[in-house]
Structure 1
Amino acid sequence: MTDFDTPYRGGFIGPEHHFALTVYFEDTDTAGVVYYANYLKFMERARSDMLRAVGVDQRDVLDGGGGAYYVAEANIRYLRPARLGDDLVVVSTVDIVRAASVQIHQRVIRGSELLTDGRVTAAFLDANGRPQRQPKEWVEKFNGIINRK
């Protein structure tokens, strides 16, 4: 039985996190094509869901006066357009884990078609905007994603 009051959550298939979504009218331009900046929003939702799925509680650290992730770099290549009503999957994998940052590879896919291919580097910054080390347990969780079979 489906619980319609529970939000959708993505999940892992090996080292890949899969996050499904549908293109709604608000996501498109006047031609019914997904507006280019909205792919970054799709990717952000998928990254946030991936972190939640491995137990990284960003809200808890932020509320405790700790640091937070900020996008330091985003590179995206647009290959094919998504359109109104399309069902998409954002596939995310962790590429590189450093002391104060993580690089995540993200692809937006429709069926078997690759629509966008991007990489995002998220830096962990303190309350004053200076880089700081990520919590050790978070680094371990990211490395655990990389090593999933």
Structure 2
Amino acid sequence: MTVHRLAVRVYFEDTDAGGILYHGSHMRFFERGRTEFLRDLGISQSLTADRTDPGALLFVVRRFAIEYRKPGFLDDLLTVETEIGAISSPRFTVAQRLLRGDDLIASAEVEVVATGGNGRPRRLPPAMAALIDGAR
């Protein structure tokens, strides 16, 4: 299985008043991990996100389950690990972990669905499905 890793730093904007990583920031970090993983596969979301194009392909999150394990803190250097799970076009799952060294800060399972510009599910193009499947 391919594991994609992305380093992220916790800035003041990512924390609550106590300097602890705000729960919503975890979701942003996980989004960055998924986006960069797809980009490294050659799938740029900016090229697929034109809703006015009848052939548009958009990725939307259908389900996001997160488990918070330990706090993150201001100025921590964290790693977002991302792996592709099951694929059943038009959807696929992504397993993600947020780590500080070897310490698990949070984990998430995300179900992503490909949709057309009209918001309805749309099968992944075969070449794109092969890229994503090949990263498992």
Which TM class, normalised by the smaller chain length?
over 0.9
> In the TM superposition, what whole-angstrom CA distance separates every residue of 1:96-146 from its partner, at most 9, and x where no partner exists?
111101100000000010010111111011111110101211110111111
Cα separation, 1, equivalents of 2:73 and 2:48: 37
Alignment of 1:30-69 (within 5 A): 30-63=17-50, 65=53, 66-69=56-59
SS of the residue 1:37 aligns to: helix
1:118 to 108, 117, 122: 108
User: Quick check: 1:107 aligned with 2:97?
Assistant: yes
Tell me which amino acid in the other structure corresponds to 2:124: Q
The corresponding residue for 1:9 is: none
2:120 to 120, 123, 130: 130
Aligned structure 1 segments of 4 or more residues deviating by more than 3 angstroms: none
Cα separation, 1, equivalents of 2:14 and 2:98: 14
SS of the residue 2:114 aligns to: strand
TM-superposed deviation, 1:58? 2.5
Aligned length: 133
SS of the residue 2:23 aligns to: coil
Gaps of 5+ in 1: 1-13
Residue identity (%): 31
TM-superposed deviation, 1:62? 2.8
Q: Once structures 1 and 2 are overlaid, which stretch shifts more, 130-139 or 72-81?
A: 130-139
The corresponding residue for 2:3 is: 16
User: Quick check: 1:85 aligned with 2:101?
Assistant: no
Gaps of 5+ in 2: none
TM-superposed deviation, 1:67? 1.7
> In the TM superposition, what whole-angstrom CA distance separates every residue of 1:2-54 from its partner, at most 9, and x where no partner exists?
xxxxxxxxxxxx61000001100000000000110110000001100000001
Q: Once structures 1 and 2 are overlaid, which stretch shifts more, 74-83 or 131-140?
A: 131-140
Cα separation, 2, equivalents of 1:61 and 1:22: 28
Cα separation, 2, equivalents of 1:82 and 1:60: 33
TM-superposed deviation, 1:92? 0.3
| C-alpha RMSD of matched pairs (Å) | 1.2
Q: Once structures 1 and 2 are overlaid, which stretch shifts more, 63-72 or 92-101?
A: 63-72
